[in-house]
Structure 1
Amino acid sequence: MNRAPRVGVFGLLGSGNLGNDGSLQALLGYLRAEHPDAVVDALCGGPEAVTARFGIPATRLHWNRGEYRTASRAGAMTTKGLGKLVDAFRTAAWVRRHDVVIVPGMGVLEATLPLRPWGFPYALFLLCASGRLLGTRVALVSVGAAGIRNRPTRALVRWSARLAAYRSYRDAQSRDAMRQMGVDTTRDKVYPDLAFALPTPEAQKKPDSPGPVCVGVMDFHGSNDDRARADEIHRRYLDGTIRFVRTLVEEGRPVRLLTGDDCDAAVVDAIRDAVDSPLVTAAEPTSLADLMTEMAAADSVVAVRYHNLICAVRTGTPVLALCYAAKSDALMDRMGLGAYCHPAREVDADRLLEQFRTLEKRAPELRQTLAGRNALADRQLQAQFAELTAVLFPEETR
């Protein structure tokens, strides 16, 4: 009898980002259903949180606990440099213990938010290079990708993708981006984001009178390429969102503010302080399930974060997207909501309100559209999981 497969999961998991942890939850659901004997552990950003929530052993991704803090003193810079060397050996030793390592979803091949090449891109490269050298299959599953201008980051991402044994993407734009960066994507496929595999709450009956609006916020400062304008972009996004929320409150609409990462709390506080109304409340979600529960009870959603958008469409709730990257536009188009996108970098409250009112007028029609698109996504993800079994666990399919 073959021994149980040893499966590792890798990424910025357990670090406060609900979307990343939702992708892990979906992957673990697949493994427990289809490969219940698999021995699973993680190399991740927040090992204590991953173990506490998901019940799997976990190891810290970086030896240096100050990896993502800016180093200005000589001692801190030396520690960071030493950490890069130590991480190369730590990653290889961890990879060696596994038959398969899976990177579940996430935008691991993009730099649509501020990113340093020697942080996560370097860690991903170490993973994929170790897998190739040691004979461990590394799979990038339903990941996001985007064109990258920074040369060191682009090189690390390109080589990570080339060295992986399996790649699939969460949208066609991601696959196109990797092809344009020099990766042969001929055999790579596109499937929905893994979060589409998560269970959804039952639809709630809507009252006849206007109900609550969920507004998903983000501590948004632009992308890697926007560093010079980061403060300006943040101020424009925040001012536009405050004006939008204030108008809804003046019309008597309850507004529920939602986050998607620990860092978003400051934006919630700024909006509540500026609007100063009991109609504005804030949720404290700890998972995508919490977000979906909030959104299922809402009439409509306006959101920035990618996985906030996924939670809205999965519950069948009409959503207007403040888009900061092509992945958001692609998701909205796939779900039949392409007309309801607004640029997060240049929020125009008047235009946003106009789009919102149109969205609500067409709500019954859009709910029907979302039901059909969700059913298709379910079928596509089942095909993705069947392919994973065939590629990553061939011994079990004989």
Structure 2
Amino acid sequence: MTSPREKPSRRQRPLRVGLFGLLGSGNVGNDGSLEAVLGHLRAEYSGAVVDAMCGGPEEVRARFGIPTTRLNWYSGEYRTASRAGAILAKAAGKVVDAVRTAAWVRRHDVVIVPGTGVLEATLPLRPWGFPYSLFLLCAAGRLTGTRVALVGVGAATIGRRATRTLTCWSARLAAYRSFRDDLSRDAMRTMGVDTSRDEVYEDLAFSLPAPAAGGAPVPRDTVCVGVMAFYGGNDDRARGDEIHRRYLDGTTRFVRALAEEGRRVRLLTGDDIDRPVVEAILDAVDSPLVTAAETDSLADLMRETAAAGTVVATRYHNLVCALKAGTPTLALSYSAKSDTLMARMGLAAFRHSAREVDPDRLLEQFRELEKRSAQLRPVLAERNAAAARRLERQFTALIPVLSPGAGRTDAVTTRQETS
């Protein structure tokens, strides 16, 4: 019996877990990582009180059924500010967000950043956007005593000093780190972060259920082509439009060549911002054989890629879904993380630069992929089994982070306050 003066122990209340990131913002890869971690919490820590601080609070609340808090106080945070009022609002938002983030963090025992490339800048990124938000989270965790765990995250060497500084300090201040590949851990070590105790497991999306086997035979003439609003990386801002034009032209010519051969093509996206690329290709090719898939989740992407004979894709999580589905895949690679993934899954030979799409060379590689399809499917099955084993070890490694003294109960509960 606890006396009135005794403070309730950690054992006497549910584990309080926060999830943090650009979640619910239109990127299905980010949401897939959230889904993987939330599924683990619900299965193994069903009494945990779970909520999220995220970029798309309405979407996360509606889809996953957990309370949410908006990541940024200023709603125009990710729009370019040109007028004085917008600039002042953004500046004020940085101060307000420091207070809001600290107040949110201190309500939790642990905050998890679920996967995604939170420690990289392989796409255009401003330091005072998400890198600043992540730094606030990790600093608040240290100040309030809340454990911040970066789980299965991606990282890359960052050239721009401000972004690099914020990213490295975020990593140092986190209580726990694990990475989705060796490349990510090596990048953080290169930037001066001690990673000697950090482990490498796998991208969290590999823990999601694979599409159910059975049903109609795979239509071998269907090709899924995953496209992207690709403008180069963080250091390519000055020539981003040129890079995009080359990517779109090369990809369009590849799709047209497939259609002219009588092949069915399904265009896939991985983020809301990719939809104009799909529309541009549909307009340019103008063939009933080329259609666009509606993919609002990684499960949708896996179903589409599982039903195809082959996949050619750009976005990292389009590749993950195709490989998880066991479908022979060719990467239109825009960063080393895609190259690393393809090599780990036994498909190192099937990569093509997204910056320099050569339709003729891409067609040659594609035909070679199709020729070797029967050989590659067993390889992918074996590599997927290995990925699943690595993720079992990842979730085991989280036990001391998630439950120091916290019990597991019978029913899922969620925090009721929202903002």
TM-score between both structures, scaled by the size of structure 1: 0.98
State how many pairs are aligned: 398
SS at match of 1:215: strand
In the aligned structure 1, how far is the partner of 2:214 from the partner of 2:268? 19
CA apart distance, 1:203: 3.5
The answer to whether 1:165 aligns with 2:175 is: yes
- Which ranges in structure 2 are unaligned for 5 or more consecutive residues? 1-10, 409-419
What is aligned with 1:379?
Answer: 389
Deviates more, 1:89-98 or 1:69-78: 69-78
Match of 1:231 in 2: 241
Q: Provide runs of 4+ in structure 1 moved above 3 Å.
A: 203-210
Matched, 1:344 2:354: yes
Counterpart secondary structure, 2:276: helix
Structure 2: how far apart are the matches of 1:71 and 1:232? 24
**How many angstroms does 1:71 deviate by?**
0.9
Paired position in structure 1 for 2:162: 152
- In 2, the alpha carbon distance for the partners of 1:369 and 1:277 equals 34
Shift of 1:75: 1.0
- Report whether the alignment pairs 1:6 with 2:16: yes
More helix by share: 1
Residue 123 in structure 1 maps to residue 113 in structure 2: no
Q: Say if 1:165 and 1:290 are closer, same or farther in 2 by CA, change over 3 A.
A: same
Residue 207 of structure 1: CA displacement? Answer: 5.0
- Where does the alignment leave 5 or more consecutive residues of structure 1 unmatched? none
Aligned-pair distance for 1:209?
7.0
Could you tell me which residue of structure 2 aligns to residue 38 of structure 1? 48
2:135 corresponds to 1:141: no
Give secondary structure in 2 for the equivalent of 1:331.
helix
Work out whether 1:58 is the aligned partner of 2:68. yes
Separation in 2 of the partners of 1:2 and 1:165? 24
Q: Which of these residues, 203, 209, 214, is aligned with residue 213 of structure 2?
A: 203
Residue of structure 1 equivalent to 2:7: none
Aligned residues of 1:203 and 1:296 also touching (Cα < 8 A):
no
1:273/1:286 CA distance change after superposition, 3 Å:
same
Equivalent of residue 92 in structure 1, options 93, 96, 102: 102
Name the counterpart of 2:82: 72
Secondary structure class of the residue paired with 1:107: coil
Deviation of residue 72 (structure 1)? 1.1
The answer to whether the Cα contact below 8 Å between 1:112 and 1:224 also exists between their aligned partners in 2 is: yes
What is the identity, as a one-letter code, of the residue corresponding to 2:298? L
Q: CA RMSD in A?
A: 1.3
Name the aligned partner's letter for residue 280 of structure 1: V
Correspondent of 2:328 among 310, 318, 333: 318
Q: Is the 8 A contact 1:204 1:296 kept in 2?
A: no
Q: Quote the offset at 1:395 in angstroms.
A: 1.5
1:175 matched residue in structure 2? 185
1:296-375 alignment runs, 5 A limit: 296-375=306-385
Given candidates 281, 291, 310, the residue that maps to 2:291 is 281
> What is the CA deviation profile of residues 229-281 of structure 1, one whole-angstrom value per residue up to 9, with x for unaligned ones?
11111011111111111111111100000110001110000101111000000
Amino acid at match of 2:97: D
**Secondary structure at 1:289 match in 2:** helix
Match of 1:193 in 2: 203
- Residue by residue over 1:302-337, the C-alpha shift from the partner in whole angstroms, topping out at 9 and shown as x without a partner, is 000000000000110000001111110010001001
User: How much has 1:2 moved relative to structure 2?
Assistant: 2.9
**Percent of counterpart pairs with the same letter?**
72
Q: 2:38: which partner in 1? A: 28
1:221 equivalent in alignment to 2:244: no
Contact 1:22-1:287 at 8 Å conserved across structures: yes
| 1:285-313 residue CA offsets vs partner (Å, 9 max, x unmatched) | 11000011111110000000000000000
